[in-house]
């Protein structure tokens, strides 16, 4: 044990810079689930569709950035207080714009996204209909 | 003839998709997120004092008739240390600067101010980035120009360099009207 002590101290000394990104421990609900499973499910669903400001290709549920941790805690605390997830999303969009949400909106720029399935189904249906009619005529 | 042309459509569509996708892959992924709070009042939040030398910050008291800077910083943030001399210069020119220390501890803020100077009037401790979220701020350092009515007029993202001083001073003058 006595021999291990210097190594232990060294390990502790070297471990410090890892925490240097911020000076504080994570916010209370950054990595702790809410006690009520139904509320936690709501919070998790929302967190998976909110984009991290630091690691911009990740959701805040997937990111270890300290801002994402703080945002997870903020969301869980608001949900625990009874706030509606979509109201929290709207609150964030009001501050950061649509960019922060992964959930598609009804903005004009996204109309092709919503329209494409309808259009493709229509075209496919028409093609199939013509094919079938032609086939029936041919066999009759 | 017409039939064989139609057969090419899916391939053309695929090539267009491939072109857009490869363009997207080469684009810079990190974008700067401008706050949508510009033109809106500073959200009223009361923060405890972040240092031993400066009073606490309540953003409810920002509407005192004169414009000021609200500087979002942290003792653990390297670019914040880089912009410290520029903030000191602005303070010498009479600019009022309030600070928000993000996810910080008092001892660390004290050490930061002792090392890099203290251009701040009040400094609030934002231990869980709460005010930062309210401001629509996406990182440190960021600086907001707040007018005498407590309305956010301008946001500077990143460290303020010597080349940004004129813009900041101009925005402060604009905020006086």
pLDDT, tens digit, 9 for 90 and up, residues B43-77: 999 999 999 999 999 998 888 899 999 999 999 99
pLDDT at A1 over 70: no
Query: Given an 8 Å threshold on Cβ–Cβ distance, is B135 in contact with A95?
Result: yes
Q: Are the C-beta atoms of B54 and B121 separated by less than 8 Å?
A: yes
C-alpha span between B135 and A95 (Å, rounded): 7
Q: What does the pLDDT read at residue B32?
A: 86
Decide if pLDDT at A140 tops 60. no
Residues from chain B contacting residue A66 (CB–CB below 8 Å)? 103, 129
Q: Which residues in chain A are closer than 8 Å to B108, comparing Cβ atoms?
A: 23
Within an 8 Å CB–CB cutoff, is residue B30 touching chain A? Answer: yes
Average pLDDT over residues A32-47: 95
CATH topology of domain A18-103: Helicase, Ruva Protein; domain 3 (1.10.8)
Euclidean distance between CA atoms B82 and A16, whole angstroms: 23
pLDDT, residue A16, reads 46
Structure tokens belonging to residue B45: 């939040």
CATH (residue range B46-176) = 3.40.30.10
CB contact under 8 A, B133 and A95: yes
3-class DSSP assignment, residue A2 = coil
* Closest C-alpha among A69, A68, A73 to residue A100: A68
pLDDT score for A15: 54
* pLDDT, mean over chain A: 85
Q: Which residues of B touch A23 (CB under 8 A)?
A: 74-76, 103-105, 108
Does A21 sit within 8 Å of B133, measured CB to CB?
A: no
B14, pLDDT greater than 90: yes
B95 alpha carbon, distance to own chain's centre: 17
CA distance B128 to B154: 24
pLDDT tops 90 at residue B27: no
B165 closest CA partner among B77, B102, B66, B85:
B85
Q: What percent of chain B has pLDDT over 90?
A: 84
Instruction: State pLDDT tens for residues A6-18.
Output: 665 555 555 544 4
**A-chain residues within 8 Å CB-CB of B76?**
20-23
Q: Is the per-residue pLDDT at B85 higher than 60?
A: yes
CA–CA separation, B102 and B80 (whole Å): 11
Above 90 in pLDDT, residue B126? yes
Task: Calculate the alpha carbon distances from B67 to A20, B23, B72, B130, B149 in Å.
Answer: 34, 44, 16, 23, 8
Domain boundaries, chain B: 46-176
Number of inter-chain CB pairs under 8 A, A vs B: 69
The two three-digit tokens of residue B50, written as one number: 């972040």
- Residues A55-84 have pLDDT tens digits of 888 999 999 999 999 999 999 999 999 999
State the nearest Cα–Cα gap between B84 and chain A, in angstroms.
Answer: 19
Tell me the nearest-neighbour CA distance from A52 into chain B, angstroms.
9
pLDDT digits (tens, 9 = 90+) for A79-123: 999 999 999 999 999 999 999 999 988 888 888 889 999 999 999
pLDDT tens per residue, range A15-29: 544 444 555 778 889
Our CA angle for B130, B131, B136, nearest 5°, is: 100
Average pLDDT of the residues in B126-143: 94
Given a contact cutoff of 8 angstroms between Cβ atoms, the answer to whether B151 and B40 are in contact is: yes
Q: Do A70 and B103 touch (CB under 8 A)?
A: yes
- Whether the ipTM is more than 0.90: the answer is no
Q: In chain A, what are the domain boundaries?
A: 18-103, 108-140
Q: Tell me what pLDDT residue B3 has.
A: 72
Write down the pLDDT at residue A17.
44
Interface contact B82, partner A, CB < 8 A? no
Q: Which of A66, A88, A72, A78 is nearest to A29 (CA)?
A: A72
């Amino acid at each position: 044990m006595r021999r291990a002590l210097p190594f232990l101290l060294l390990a502790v000394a070297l471990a410090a810079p890892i925490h240097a990104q911020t000076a504080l421990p994570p916010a209370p609900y950054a990595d702790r689930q809410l006690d009520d499973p139904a509320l936690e499910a709501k919070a998790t669903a929302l967190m998976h569709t909110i984009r991290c400001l630091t690691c911009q290709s990740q959701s805040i549920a997937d990111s270890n950035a300290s801002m994402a941790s703080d945002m997870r805690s903020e969301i869980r605390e608001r949900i625990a207080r009874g706030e509606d997830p979509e109201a929290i999303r709207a609150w964030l969009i009001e501050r950061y714009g649509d960019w922060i949400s992964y959930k598609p909106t009804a903005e004009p720029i996204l109309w092709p996204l919503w329209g494409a399935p309808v259009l493709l189904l229509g075209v496919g249906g028409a093609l199939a209909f013509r094919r079938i009619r032609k086939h029936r005529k041919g066999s009759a | 003839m017409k039939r064989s042309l139609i057969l090419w459509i899916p391939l053309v569509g695929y090539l267009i998709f491939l072109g857009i996708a490869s363009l997207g892959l080469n684009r810079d992924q990190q974008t700067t997120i401008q706050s949508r709070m510009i033109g809106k009042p500073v959200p009223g939040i009361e923060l405890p004092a972040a240092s031993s030398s400066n009073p606490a910050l309540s953003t409810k008291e920002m509407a005192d008739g004169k414009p000021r800077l609200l500087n979002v910083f942290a003792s653990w943030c390297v670019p914040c240390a880089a912009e410290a001399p520029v903030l000191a210069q602005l303070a010498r020119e009479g600019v009022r600067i309030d600070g928000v220390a993000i996810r910080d501890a008092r001892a660390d803020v004290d050490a930061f101010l002792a090392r890099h100077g203290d251009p701040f009037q009040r400094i609030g401790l934002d231990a869980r980035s709460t005010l930062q979220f309210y401001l629509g701020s996406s990182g440190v350092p960021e600086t907001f120009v707040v007018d005498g009515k407590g309305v956010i007029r301008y946001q500077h993202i990143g460290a303020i360099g010597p080349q940004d001083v004129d813009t900041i001073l101009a925005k402060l003058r604009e905020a006086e009207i």
